[in-house]
Amino acid sequence: MSVIEEMVKDRDSAVKRCEEAYAEAEKLQDTLHDVITFVDPKEQLEHLPENGLMRGVPIGIKDNVNTKGILTTAGSAILANYVPIYNAAIVDKLKDAGAVCIAKTSMDELAMGGTNLTCFKGPAYNPWDVKRMTGGSSGGSAAMVAAGTVAMAIGSDTGDSVRKPAAFCGVVGVKPTYGRISRYGVVPYASSLDHVGYFTRSVKDACISLQVLAGRDDRDMTSSYRPVPDYLAELNSDLHGKKIAVIGNVVENLGNQDTLKMFNDLMDQLKSRGAEVDVYQFDEDLMKAILPTYYLIANCEATSNDSNLDGVRFGMRQDGADMKEIMTNTRTKGFGPLIRRRFVIGSYGLFQENQERLFRKAQKVRRLVVDAMMECFKSYDCLIAPASGDIAPLIDEKQDQDQLSEDYLVAENYMAMGNFSGCPSMTVPMGFEQGCPLGVNLTCRAFEESTMFGIARAIEEITGYEDLHAEVK
């Protein structure tokens, strides 16, 4: 029985469990710094539904998800005083299922980042080694789950912002199919790439969580009409007949041979369980183009989406002599340096004279990447590769990483393929180095989450990393 199943079964302990989780989160805050706003569970506990798949389960929610009457900053000073007047669709779904939110979690500013170092409240720290980063942008949620404080936490994933923190923090991180979960009420980053995702400590709990979160929402026109399966009932770890493609470009660019050996050993064990595992090569130039393509599309869309953060309609406001000066002063002081740089890139890409040369070209490259994935999926059920070449970087060493090196360009950025295509993708723990976790990433065809969960469950059975969590020091 999974953690969530055990909690739901133990109905009598719901109040005590959530209050203890809240107290534990407060206790760990000075060490992990993974929370932006604590949410007292008392009122929620007074209105628990009689039944629900997550009744009495303490959870965290990333701070770019609107929560009515509760501060929602998206990790940015420009929204430091923003209190929504409505809930995001997923907040209502979680409430109806009986989940109890105890925290709005730390995140990179406006979800733009992969470190969780750019939050206006300061960085979040990795529960396995607090000198190391959590990854981002959903690092606070990953840290809460990894520390054992909550059973599930919401994140968002635009490039790998759930799956990379999951790898660094040793938990399960899921980005479902585009449209599987409504994004209504989630502060947007890049609308064609954004996915609601989440973290758990087991594949079974990942199945339960998706059943709660998924479904059509007329307020989000990109959400799917497809029926929501009972993912837990369909969970099947039998690998006979499954064809798995190892992304050769990624493993060939891994600099850490210990990670490569760990991954290859895992592939051998998948074969021994009946899976057909082959190395599959994508065009190398196409793989190297993923990161610049992602940056251009994401930053252009973000520049458009965040144009309403001007200090006039809501959020923090700086004084000025006229409307233009108010907006200029607000955005200059309200955004951190990384965000301002990204808006410069996005604005440049959206200049009329640059749209065809840059933005439209990036969209064409994205289509080539997706076409290459679809060609692979004609023969294989799943794409697989290490989620990261190394354990979480030391916070003080991040700036030394060469982002244009061959290994970083491909091995650390390929997971954006799942956002380009909208295909479901997830990371599960694979092993440990230096006492810190490493993860393996799986991507399957659109709406084939059940297949993805089955292969992930087989990996979990092989590694024994179910309900993995850190003893925070």
Could you say which of 141, 156, 161, 209 is catalytic?
A: 161
* Structure tokens that stand for 308 in this block: 């309403």
- Hunting for tokens 């895992």 — which residue is that? 266
Could you say which of 76, 106, 137, 223 is catalytic?
A: 137
The β-bridge partners of 291 are none
HEC sequence for the chain: CCHHHHHHHCHHHHHHHHHHHHHHHHHHHHHHCCEEEECCCHHHHHCCCCCCCCCCCEEEEECCECECCECCCCCCHHHCCCCCCCCCHHHHHHHHCCCEEEEEECCCHHHCCCCCCCCCCCCCCECCECCECCCCCCHHHHHHHHCCCCCEEEEEECCCCCHHHHHHHCCEEEECCCCCECCCCECCCCCCCCEEEEEECCHHHHHHHHHHHECCCCCCCCCCCCCCCCHHHHCCCCCCCCEEEEEHHHHHCCCCHHHHHHHHHHHHHHHHCCCEEEEECCCHHHHHCHHHHHHHHHHHHHHHHHHHCCCCCCCCCCCCCCHHHHHHHHHHHHCCHHHHHHHHHHHHHHCHHHHHHHHHHHHHHHHHHHHHHHHHHCCCCEEEEECCCCCCCEHHHHHHCCCCCHHHHHHCCHHHHHHHHCCCEEEEEEEEECCEEEEEEEEECCCCHHHHHHHHHHHHHHHCCCCCCCCCC
Could you say which of 2, 62, 388, 425 is catalytic?
A: 62
379 is catalytic: no
Distance between first and last Cα of the chain: 28
137 is catalytic: yes
Gap between the Cα atoms of 184 and 456, Å rounded: 28
Helix axes 257-272, 449-463, angle to 10 degrees: 110
Gap between the Cα atoms of 206 and 290, Å rounded: 28
User: Hey, which residues are catalytic here?
Assistant: 62, 137, 161
